[in-house]
Structure 1
Amino acid sequence: MSRSVVSKPLVLALGVAFSGSAYANSVMDWSQSSLSCHAPQNAATRYAVPAAKGSGGETLPENATRLTADRATGQTNALHRAEGDVIVERNNETLNADWVEYDQRTEEVVAGDDFTLTRADGQTVKGKHLRYNLAKKVGNAQESAFEAVHEGRRLQGVSGELSLEDKNHSRMKNVKFNTCAAGDHSWYIQAAELKNNQTTGIGVAKHAKLVFGGVPILYTPWADFPTRGNRKSGLLVPTLKVGSDGTELALPYYLNLAPNYDATLTPSVITARGAALGGELRYLQAQYSGSLNGRYLPHDRRSPYNNRYEIKWQHRHQINPQWRGGIDLNQVSDDDYYRDFYGRYDIAANTHLNRRAWLAHQSQPVWGEPVRTQIVVQKYQTLTDSAGKKDKPYALLPEISSQWHKNHGKARYDFTAQLTRFDHSRKQSGTRAVVYPSVKWDWGNRWAHVRPKVGVHATQYWLKKHSGSQERRETRVLPMVNVDSGVVFERELTLNRQRYVQTLEPRLFYNYIATQSQNHLPNFDSGSTDFSYDQLFRENIYSGNDRINSSNSLAFGLQTRVLNAHNGAEKFRAGIGQKHYFNTDDVLLNGSLEKTPRKRSDIAAFAGGQIHKNWFVDSHVHYNESAKQTQNWAAGVRYNPQAGKVFSARFKYGRNEEIYTGYYEKLKQIDLAMQYPLNPNLYAVARLNYNIAPRTPLEQTIGLEYKNGCGCWGASLVAQRYITGLNQYKNAVYFTLQLKDLSSLGSDTYEKLRLGIPGYHKTNNVNTR
């Protein structure tokens, strides 16, 4: 090991030393903590722990030391005294100080009155007095400040006593630290002792408390935590929610089981209901991955049900290059579970809980392309709605489907086949086989296209006994022919001195499907699709394979788009379309044939996009041609001049909409929402979703969001009242305190606000002062 002073033993360096005393006085004292930001971003460097500056000399050999100073005394291979802008460099570590005593024999330095040490791992320490061994990386400092940055995470703090035990271990006493911008002490963690292990990336704090705005709000006698953003077993921040069920407090505990396994156990208490235990297990391997979630409430004081639970399991498995599979399992204990424990959107989306297992296979190429086959077993848990009604779908036990396609010149050949066994406890069960070969040609370019298609849809049923009917077989074979064609005209357009391209896109779609009564066939999986502009150009207006509409029609549509001339981004789109019938045959959803005198379909129109610098619109209309009246329409407008400032209003009308299972009524709804900055740091949010007929508020939301000027913390308080069923409501108040790069206290409201307020932005992302 070389312990000589290389290059010039003592180099006279001209420069300005760091003004350590002024820095120390402003940074060491964190006692005057407040919620405001004391470090404007343009002046943050005044308060940051400055990295030590090097001498600018040649790169040193390994384990060699260079000392540079204004003045120095001492003997070679002995003790040196250096004063005035002292710089000591060794193995990517740099020390600056007013004066240094350096023992060349032991590689130990003593530095004062102010020093700055930047270690090889990027950590910087600044203080009054330092004793440090350059070779062993061992030392201690008094009244120091420190700073470290790892993968974008910044840690800063002050310590009464700092012990550097080696290059990977350190210990601090009377320490205060946070993850804020330089100079921001609006919150910090204060501990009697803090140990840091760089090898494991784990820190241990004793008698630690979280101080927010100068007020301690949390305390723990002992805590360990990751220091580099790595995973670590231990308690997570508790969550708190107040609402119709009283106060809900959850205390999650994280278990880092292995690099590719982890788990979270979450005991909780709901004051109006009782105690619950939740948990999540996550796993990740090269061939498979998944998660298992669950929650159990043994005694619910507000429900006739006990032993209430939910289970969610998702698993994906790549067995080999040809085979892969998965499981999606969802189960709850009772019909009221989602209404009691979830929000409005979750209730609507979880009427039918999916329980599905699948296995997929990709074969070797057949005529140059593989055959993709999938086997599915699926059975739903259907929950009753608030009126006590349910309509349970058929179970697939199983469904086997195969697909193959081949592009050859201008033609595309498609072949799909499906074999499904449908099972139901109260409806007719049976097996259905579907074969649908087709060929489609594509003759076109960037401004026009003609795409004729020919196919045959063949269906075979094997039906079981039901309600006195005997087992039977049914067959349906329908030829299908259609031609899709369109032209795109373009012209240059200038709006507000900006260059755009406007298109005019007429489109014709001829569709022929032979007429065939289907009321002798069961309906396992078909349903009506919403009438829209896009539906005009589909060959079948029904979903599924049990109902195929009769058609001898020509659909006409006219669409225009406004595109940015430089990048092609769409600014605005509008269109209108209708279908002309050449026969009067009509296949209803129940499978029966109906002769209708109409020659034209309903009219579908839409318009949406940016109409001015800060104004956006979105609308669609369905006009019933037979009844000469509007079937449904919706229109919305949004004013969004900047991120975090948005007002929106939307009206929705439906002449005959399904309100809940089996119950249809006229629908009139208005939806008002906003996010507005009251000042650069405080934002108001609100939403009113109101049903006009009958007069019922569906959702009411109001709240405030705040983020301090340095971006170190943010808080939100949101109150919500929402409908859970017929004449049933729930109230909830959510409070969230976000600490930068550390954690959040409370319940995150982002997803609720994003879904309810069009154009909503996280306050953390819009405040850049």
Structure 2
Amino acid sequence: MKPTPPLRSLPPRRLLAIAAAAALISSQGAHAGSQNRRPKATLDGSQVVCPLGTFICAPRPDNFALCRPNGLLEFYDPFLSKDSSLRDTAKTHVWADQVESPDQTIYHLTGHVKTVRADQELHADIADYNSDTTDYDARGNVHYQEAAHLLSADHIVGNTNNSTGVATGNVRFQMLDSHGNGTAVRGEMIDENRNRYSVATYSTCDIGRHIWEIRAKTIDTDQNTGRGVARNATMNFYGVPFFYTPYMSFPLNNDRQSGFLYPYFEHTGNAGYQFRIPYYFNLAPNYDATLDPRYYTKRGAMLGAEFRYLFPKTSGTFNIEFLPSDNYNDQKITPTAPDTQGQERYLYKFVNNTSLWPGWSLNTNINRASDQNYMHDFGDDLFSISTTFLYSSIYLNGSGNWWSAAVGGDMWQNVDPSQPNSVEPYKRLPRATFNMDIPFARWYDVGMTSEAVSFRKTNSVEGSRLDLYPYVDADFQGAAWFIRPKLAYRYTAYSLDSGYQNFYTATTTSTGTTFYPFPQSNPSRSLPIVSLDQGLIFDRSTSLFGTNYTQTLEPRLYYLYVPYRNQNNLPLFDTGLMAFDDWMLFAPNQFSGADRQMNANNLTAAVTTRLLDDGGVERLSATFGQIRYFTPQLVQTPGVAATNWSGSDYVAELSSQLNDQWTMSTEYLWNPNTRKTDLGTFTVQRRLGFDGILNFSYRFRQGQLEQYDASAVYPLTDRWRLIGDWTYSVMDKKTVEAVAGVQYEGCCVKVSLVARHYVTGYDGVITNLLPGQAIPGSDTAVMFELEFKGMGAFSGQTDSILRRDILGYQ
């Protein structure tokens, strides 16, 4: 029988190690833990710098580099063995200024006493040692070291073989596998991996410089479980107690543990002040759960939850947010706003991937909200606020060496309060696709893409569509050239449901637009598609500013021929005209979806040049190109007249990263027919030191948007940094989003205070607007996070928002 593959562990989550309230404590005691989605922290502060130009950078691990260098207890011996497994067979070596032994079993040692066995080392002024039992009694400046632990006291009594002992008087301890340290009145070494401290403190700050610490009646540490447990504990910040709990469990390492996440505070205009204190359940290595209770001062108590699972053949995540009754009446502010007071509000997301058998899988992605206003009312960033549709799908996917197939469906939910539900795209249910690509005779491929789908939408023409796209192509190439001919045939047929005559299609000419009912229930379209793609690649050695490069010159021609077919009798189910961009220079269709296939007799000419350094890294790339049209573009969507342009936009692109501090990219599209700029983008990024970033970008699309964006992470010192992001819309003459914040990172603590102002696109006023006019509205959120390093750092809401808003933030 084939063995079952082992279960993998879920990615970790970093937790706060603070128990919340006695009411939440179970009979075994509440546990707070550390689960880390990030790499494990390193004591030397080593980090991975996010590459220039990266959109979203991974969070950093805990960095203790700001702590005092070599901040260990003063008696630490770096040359002592770290291997505790050698204890059973190692000999005990003893040194002292004076040794007395009445029976050669009991030794009385005085003056600079030192004993060493494997990873164990003991220093004292005076010590008594029994060589038979390995009992010892050390007094005066007692220092003890082992592989993962340092301990000092006035007096220690113990047994070397059993790794036990009791320390009293000025007890200090430090854990070498983490940054934890503290003091106690009494310390007890229970065994090799467990210790107990009475009337003790614990912190990950520098020794003697505790910005925060736990003060407890007892603190137990267990290296086997990676946990510490404090009883009758108080959290102190700069000596001021701010939290008490009778039981607290905290991490000694970054292993996943059940416990409370960092509390989170925020304020938004739509929901009021928000407080969260999530609790993480480490149920098993391959599944876990998080409860996220929240309270909104305007809307009431909400429960959020997440469940993750990972099995050999299936994995997934289920998220839900549920508000039993909304306390807020939006109509108090705006009479035209929907009234959700007293209603249940919810949002759920379910993502699952299941491997059924070799080559086949079931993929599910379900997203639903209770109402159209949910994202607007509970979203706290521009990303969620600007979400207009929630997408859901379920597909059975299969693939082989030369084919792929899928059967399933798609649907959308409108969550834009400013739009009626009629704007939702068609439901594609059911939908099936089949694609194949079979190579033969070395150079050639024969293949096909196909789709069969049924479209459903209330108060719209409905029906089914079959789209078949067989082709034969070839790829002839050498070291400095390529030729890629392709011959394809596209057949698209429809079966419209009864009642199609009640809906209208349109024809647009220079004299206007004519509307008429769909003429038939089974329209179709068929046509050949011929293309020829060819190019050359030249290279030479060159130098720039004293640096050697390889420069390439890559001219390319792409010819496309598609005969004209009148397609005005075909419905528009999921098709639209795509905005012209650089990749469309070599695309066989300017429409998304299968409802329209453009006619073409076009030739694209483009040239690219690159600079490659000696390591093969592309330091500069520039492209220029245009499509020349030999026949008019007759196929258009309703409301758009045919064009007789001689050429497309001129496309120019330039990207550069001449060193590891600067990166730049720009794209420019100029329309020779309207003599206007259709698109212009410019982005530049500069790295400032180790963790500083400066970004500037400009985006312009004719008739749609013109925006400036500037963002920065500016390090004032090695501990303080300023954070800012500003996005301004020239067309709207208003700020789309503004972020300002400050962060402090010390040896053992991080503090973030961030304010965000962003456009919501909706403020409840949906009357007296012109067609297509944007609906105004904005909101402000203030977020605060406090993190104690080594206590389960949590990459919370503030960090995730900044990583999404600021290019290269880490």
Distance across 1 between alignment mates of 2:493 and 2:457 = 19
Distance across 2 between alignment mates of 1:480 and 1:226 = 64
| Other-structure match for 1:571 | 619
- CA deviations over 1:526-573 (Å, ceiling 9, x no partner): 22223122211111112222211111110011222222x222222222
Is contact 1:100–1:112 with CA below 8 Å preserved after alignment? yes
Matched, 1:607 2:654: yes
Structure 1 pair 464/644, CA: closer, same or farther in 2 (3 Å)? same
For this pair of structures, how many residues does the alignment match?
Answer: 703
After the TM superposition, which of the residue ranges 77-86 and 445-454 deviates more from structure 2?
77-86
| Other-structure match for 1:633 | 680
Matched, 1:453 2:486: yes
| Other-structure match for 2:188 | 163
- TM-score, normalised to structure 1, is 0.85
C-alpha displacement at 1:510, in angstroms? 0.5
Identity of aligned residues (%): 29
Distance across 2 between alignment mates of 1:653 and 1:52 = 60
Structure 1 pair 42/215, CA: closer, same or farther in 2 (3 Å)? closer
* More RCO (CA 8 Å, sep 6+): 2
Match of residue 200, structure 2, among 158, 163, 175: 175
- CA deviations over 1:626-654 (Å, ceiling 9, x no partner): 21222232334444443444443333333
| Other-structure match for 1:720 | 756
Distance across 2 between alignment mates of 1:287 and 1:263 = 20
Amino acid across the alignment from 1:331: R
Matched, 1:116 2:137: no
| Other-structure match for 2:372 | 335
- TM-score, normalised to structure 2, is 0.81
Is contact 1:344–1:723 with CA below 8 Å preserved after alignment? no
Structure 1 pair 570/161, CA: closer, same or farther in 2 (3 Å)? same
Amino acid across the alignment from 1:242: H
Match of residue 265, structure 2, among 217, 233, 240: 240
C-alpha displacement at 1:728, in angstroms? 0.8
Mind listing any 5+ residue stretches in structure 1 that lack a counterpart?
A: 1-36, 364-368, 658-666, 763-769
| Other-structure match for 1:14 | none
| Other-structure match for 1:699 | 737
Is contact 1:51–1:124 with CA below 8 Å preserved after alignment? no
Distance across 2 between alignment mates of 1:61 and 1:299 = 63
| Other-structure match for 1:731 | 780
C-alpha displacement at 1:184, in angstroms? 5.0
| Other-structure match for 1:393 | 425
Distance across 2 between alignment mates of 1:154 and 1:425 = 62
Structure 1 pair 694/82, CA: closer, same or farther in 2 (3 Å)? same
SS at match of 1:418: strand
Match of residue 593, structure 2, among 539, 544, 550: 544
Distance across 1 between alignment mates of 2:111 and 2:472 = 86
Match of residue 618, structure 1, among 647, 665, 669: 665
| Other-structure match for 1:664 | none
- CA deviations over 1:667-713 (Å, ceiling 9, x no partner): 332223222222332211222212223322111211112222x4x22
C-alpha displacement at 1:390, in angstroms? 5.4
Distance across 1 between alignment mates of 2:300 and 2:66 = 47
Structure 1 pair 116/276, CA: closer, same or farther in 2 (3 Å)? same
SS at match of 1:536: helix
| Other-structure match for 1:689 | 727
- CA deviations over 1:391-419 (Å, ceiling 9, x no partner): 21121222121222233312233222222
Distance across 1 between alignment mates of 2:684 and 2:194 = 59
| Other-structure match for 1:428 | 461
Distance across 1 between alignment mates of 2:151 and 2:472 = 73
Amino acid across the alignment from 1:576: F
Is contact 1:39–1:47 with CA below 8 Å preserved after alignment? no
SS at match of 2:634: strand
Match of residue 257, structure 1, among 258, 277, 283: 283
| Other-structure match for 1:495 | 544
| Other-structure match for 1:222 | 247
After the TM superposition, which of the residue ranges 391-400 and 341-350 deviates more from structure 2?
341-350
Amino acid across the alignment from 1:733: V
How do 1:329-478 residues align onto structure 2 when only pairs under 5 Å count?
329-347=366-384, 350-362=387-399, 369-386=401-418, 391-408=423-440, 409-465=442-498, 466-468=500-502, 472-478=521-527
Amino acid across the alignment from 1:487: L
SS at match of 1:379: strand
Distance across 1 between alignment mates of 2:82 and 2:793 = 44
| Other-structure match for 1:135 | 161
Is contact 2:182–2:207 with CA below 8 Å preserved after alignment? no
SS at match of 2:320: strand
| Other-structure match for 2:25 | none
| Other-structure match for 2:238 | 213
C-alpha displacement at 1:518, in angstroms? 1.4
SS at match of 1:576: strand
| Other-structure match for 1:148 | 175
Structure 1 pair 391/50, CA: closer, same or farther in 2 (3 Å)? same
- CA deviations over 1:157-213 (Å, ceiling 9, x no partner): 222211122334321112222234666523222222112344444322112222223
Amino acid across the alignment from 2:268: G
Is contact 1:238–1:745 with CA below 8 Å preserved after alignment? no
Superposition CA RMSD, Å: 2.9
- CA deviations over 1:708-745 (Å, ceiling 9, x no partner): 2x4x2221211111000122111111112222232458
C-alpha displacement at 1:155, in angstroms? 2.3
C-alpha displacement at 1:69, in angstroms? 0.7
Match of residue 211, structure 2, among 183, 186, 193: 186
Distance across 2 between alignment mates of 1:420 and 1:39 = 58
Amino acid across the alignment from 2:358: P
Matched, 1:321 2:358: yes
Match of residue 73, structure 1, among 89, 92, 100: 100
- CA deviations over 1:566-595 (Å, ceiling 9, x no partner): 222222222221111121243113498x65
Amino acid across the alignment from 1:170: N
Is contact 1:251–1:267 with CA below 8 Å preserved after alignment? yes
Structure 1 pair 76/500, CA: closer, same or farther in 2 (3 Å)? farther
| Other-structure match for 1:651 | 698
Mind listing any 5+ residue stretches in structure 2 that lack a counterpart?
A: 1-62, 331-338, 503-517, 762-774
Is contact 1:177–1:189 with CA below 8 Å preserved after alignment? yes
